[in-house]
Structure 1
């Protein structure tokens, strides 16, 4: 029996076993099987793993995440902030993961560039954190979880896994307009800060200092978060102003630092980067990025209109 006929026979057998269609059974057999589950490495004390970036959850990325996880086991993503000794710190992290570039390719550990992050095995989490902590640079290291692509609800991904799409509830009538943002009804600053543990008066995180230890970073972050918490009334005022003057759009294109100057010119007082970010999150604008600025889904036409009004005032 030829290899092609053996493959078709295996597909027919899988189809009979699962009751799925032929094309679905073929895709399921073509996908790599997951290795034996290994315990997921827990972060050491004081190290936080942030959620995946929103851009990583797009449907066309799910197959890559699913296949990479199936081939290598639990994954994580990390980035080291640029600055002094960056190459040295990058080599320290790569060495723990067995991914130094002087090693033969076939013996090199997993280390895949994904935007400004690198994807590697999660089992190396503690070792990488310890290596950078010993070098006095743990505050420059950011960990993120990766999407659980094997259980996403995208219609294309569910179809690829041989599952029907999620049934949408039928609408009883025309969709109602979203409620207006009203002080007292929108999320509080405390709720937003609980969801975003790095959000501070500075923005996301704090301004990095050369030689700063991780303990010093945490102390400074706590102080900047306390400073932001003291400006709740200001943040709520900015959130209401944004809602009344800038329409939301799906694609985040307007930077928080740019937008803070627009708001300053409009309301006539200083606005910190962190206040603007917190207000935009409260008002519900789509966003991406978190170090130290963020981009928000705000209408460029409205922003340009506000800029022109400030120039002619």
Structure 2
């Protein structure tokens, strides 16, 4: 019997013994009873572990957190701020986690993009902190804990774990949700400092087989230099967005589709990076999961109106 079959047999035996769902039984076997919880492990000097972001605790995220924790053990989320030497520092952290991109995919350690953060094993924190400290960049490291999906009280999550729903916990929603109000507009330089992967083409660079880290850094620098040249255009688009599209709290409108709406309305080419930078300057709520595009909190009614107006013009 192969090791994988033996593991599955053990999980099913545990499932039959305890009456728990398959994923819960797998997690119970993966976590030794004597192991200290992740929260009990003291972080290295100079590193503070912040609580999870509120957006990570939604019900549809819990299954991913539960499955990833069951497969890899205690997790954490890390990000490195600032654009200077970002690729070099990112490679240092990846190397500690065994996730350097030059390694074959099947041999890489866990290093999964989750918005601005990367999720990896909690056991790598000390090594990542030491590597960045040696490079003089420890203050640029931000670490967050991840949600404990085995303890959440969402009805759907309790059902998945084979637990009864919590009684008397009806969700109370405000009669009128608070509106999003535009604030002062930052400069393009400030936005690019806050988003070190933002370029003329969107977030990050396209991955190509055989491409070195130095080539990726050069491509990223070229894309950011190119975006900086379009500051007047970006500001013009930001003003236009504020005048024509109402902000909402939930990011649902994709940047790539929205750039075409702007192009068809103002009558000239707009790059994906210009649109993203303009929306960030304007102050729309945003979400970037992976790839070059981002989602923004823009009124779907206003976007549909602009699309129809462009088609009939």
TM-score bucket (shorter structure)? 0.5 to 0.7
In 2: Cα distance, 1:34 partner to 1:242 partner:
47
Q: TM-score, normalised by structure 2?
A: 0.53
In 2: Cα distance, 1:113 partner to 1:294 partner:
14
Q: Secondary structure at the match of 1:223?
A: helix
CA separation of 1:90/1:125 partners in 2, compared to 1, >3 Å: closer, same or farther? farther
What is the total number of aligned residue pairs between the two structures?
213
CA separation of 1:38/1:52 partners in 2, compared to 1, >3 Å: closer, same or farther? closer
1:207 maps to 2:206? yes
Q: Which residue of 2 aligns with 1:37?
A: 41
Q: Secondary structure at the match of 1:219?
A: helix
Shift of the alpha carbon at 1:199? 0.6
Q: Which residue of 2 aligns with 1:93?
A: 108
In 2: Cα distance, 1:93 partner to 1:126 partner:
19
* More off after superposition, 250-259 vs 207-216: 207-216
In 1: Cα distance, 2:75 partner to 2:44 partner:
7
Are the equivalent residues in 1 in contact too, given 2:251–2:295 (CA < 8 A)?
yes
Shift of the alpha carbon at 1:127? 8.8
CA separation of 1:278/1:207 partners in 2, compared to 1, >3 Å: closer, same or farther? same
Shift of the alpha carbon at 1:89? 3.0
- The structure whose Rg is larger is 1
Are the equivalent residues in 1 in contact too, given 2:74–2:123 (CA < 8 A)?
no
CA separation of 1:268/1:53 partners in 2, compared to 1, >3 Å: closer, same or farther? farther
Are the equivalent residues in 1 in contact too, given 2:185–2:283 (CA < 8 A)?
no
What whole-Å deviation, never above 9, does each CA across 1:10-48 have from its counterpart, x for those lacking one? xxxxxxxxxxxxxxxxxxxxxx97454244599xxxxxx
Are the equivalent residues in 2 in contact too, given 1:52–1:144 (CA < 8 A)?
no
User: What does residue range 123-134 of structure 1 map to in structure 2 within 5 Å?
Assistant: 123-124=123-124
In 2: Cα distance, 1:310 partner to 1:274 partner:
22
Q: Which residue of 1 aligns with 2:309?
A: 309
CA separation of 1:306/1:121 partners in 2, compared to 1, >3 Å: closer, same or farther? same
In 2: Cα distance, 1:230 partner to 1:112 partner:
32
Q: TM-score, normalised by structure 1?
A: 0.53
Q: Which residue of 2 aligns with 1:75?
A: 76
Are the equivalent residues in 2 in contact too, given 1:40–1:123 (CA < 8 A)?
no
Unaligned runs of 5+ in 2: 1-34, 80-93, 95-100, 129-140, 149-153, 155-177
Q: CA RMSD in A?
A: 4.8
1:230 maps to 2:245? no
Q: Which residue of 2 aligns with 1:5?
A: none
Q: Which residue of 2 aligns with 1:259?
A: 258
Q: Which residue of 1 aligns with 2:15?
A: none
Are the equivalent residues in 1 in contact too, given 2:44–2:126 (CA < 8 A)?
no
Are the equivalent residues in 1 in contact too, given 2:180–2:249 (CA < 8 A)?
no
